[in-house]
Amino acid sequence: MSRQSVWATKVAALIKGNNSQAALAQIKVAPTVKDLQQLRALMTADGSLLKHRLIDEATRDQIVALSAPRLHRSP
């Protein structure tokens, strides 16, 4: 079993501390899809995902964005 992400627990603490703007900023620069999924799992477990609609939308959008293949840019 894999370890819980430190990033996910820190962002969840921001959300529980009513600092949604800082949490949204962190979600926009999330390191991996796995971290976002762990954050969603943490929030779903305690029911806070239902209370924070913007966080729910942001995590879903960011998972889609990080899952999509990157466009190649030439130097």
Question: So what's the pLDDT on residue 4?
Answer: 73
Extents of the domains making up the chain: 6-67
Q: Whole-model pTM above 0.95?
A: no
Question: So what's the pLDDT on residue 69?
Answer: 77
Q: How does pLDDT run along the chain (75 residues), one tens digit per residue?
A: 567 779 999 999 999 999 999 999 999 999 999 999 999 999 999 888 889 999 999 999 999 988 877 765 655
Contact 40, 50 (CB under 8 A): no
- CA–CA separation, 75 and 73 (whole Å): 6
Rg (CA), the chain: 13
- Residue length of the chain: 75
Question: So what's the pLDDT on residue 13?
Answer: 93
Question: So what's the pLDDT on residue 68?
Answer: 79
| CA–CA distances in Å: residue 63 to residues 13, 14, 27, 66 | 20, 19, 10, 5
User: Token pair for residue 4?
Assistant: 């819980």
